[in-house]
Amino acid sequence: MQNVFKLAAVAALCASAAAAHAQLALDANLELDTTYTNKIDAPATNARDSDLSLGGRVEFNVGAKATNGDAFVAARASLLLKKDGNTGVDDLWVQAGNATADVKLGRFEAMDLFPVGKDTVLEYAEGYTPYQANTLRGRKGSDVFHGALGLNAAPGLRVELGLVFSKETDQAKGIRPAVMYAAGPLTLRAGLESVKVVGSTAGSETGLGLSAGYQLNKDTSINVNFAKKEDDKTFGLNAIIGAAGIGLVSGKGATAAQKATTVYAAYTLPLMGVKGASITPALSFAKGGTGTKGQTAARVRINYAF
């Protein structure tokens, strides 16, 4: 019954958009993942058997945008129907503004300060996840406020100020200023995160994210990333070459155990020559720090947009 109510809500949004003469966009897609992870022996805290699993979801998207001269209002909602029978929401936001400035509210992802490219499978060694300047990037829970003010300060230059607020214990809150500059094939990004965890006695921590991307041609691009927060430092390098993607993420923290280096790769192929259908085999190899075990993962992802 819950699924019926959510689908009815999406249908109501579609009807409202049509009545308001907005530019309406509807689409849906299926994503199905078959994933293998390796066996890990002692120590017992990291022990596990090898695993072969099948997961996936169907995503229904509805978006609308209406304009009044230079001003606009846009919205998007993404409903997920998952393989385990549960439902979820990916995006749910509204954005209003003009060519100079806009405000975005809801559940969304803000500016990416550490793009990882074709990350079909990207696992890290157990016990440590490298910092990637994304603690306050977004897609938070229902009890968390997330808003972003965007300014198009000059041609190719966009400034964004994000705010995440919550009173829920263990939730991260704070501000996230970021800037992006695009000129021809070059894209530069830089930003900060001032993070405070609700209920923690520790003070705020400041994180930094830097990224440089270059589009060599229409099918080939590279990204170099760096992130830092207190003792955590992470370096990333990735490239997309046509249907293939390859990348490296390496991070370390304050102790010898807090270390993870992952190499990952993926390649997308057409599936049966059907429009909108593809299959992507992918691999991920992760090495951990002192006293931790690495992680090997393989995934075959089937996508079908319909």
Q: Per-residue pLDDT tens for 126-182? A: 788 999 999 999 998 878 999 999 999 999 999 999 999 999 888 999 999 999 999
Q: Which of 60, 118, 120, 113 is nearest to 87 (CA)?
A: 60
2-305: what fold? Porin (2.40.160)
What's the mean pLDDT in 74-99?
A: 95
Name the nearest CA neighbour of 150 among 193, 99, 212: 99
Coil, strand, or helix at residue 88?
Answer: strand
Q: Which tens digit of pLDDT belongs to each residue from 20-57?
A: 567 899 999 999 999 999 876 545 455 556 688 999 99
Query: Residue 141's pLDDT is what?
Result: 80
Q: What percent of the chain is predicted at pLDDT more than 70?
A: 89
3-class SS of residue 41: coil
pLDDT, tens only, 281-299: 999 999 988 877 788 999 9
Q: Six-digit token pair at 218? A: 């229409």
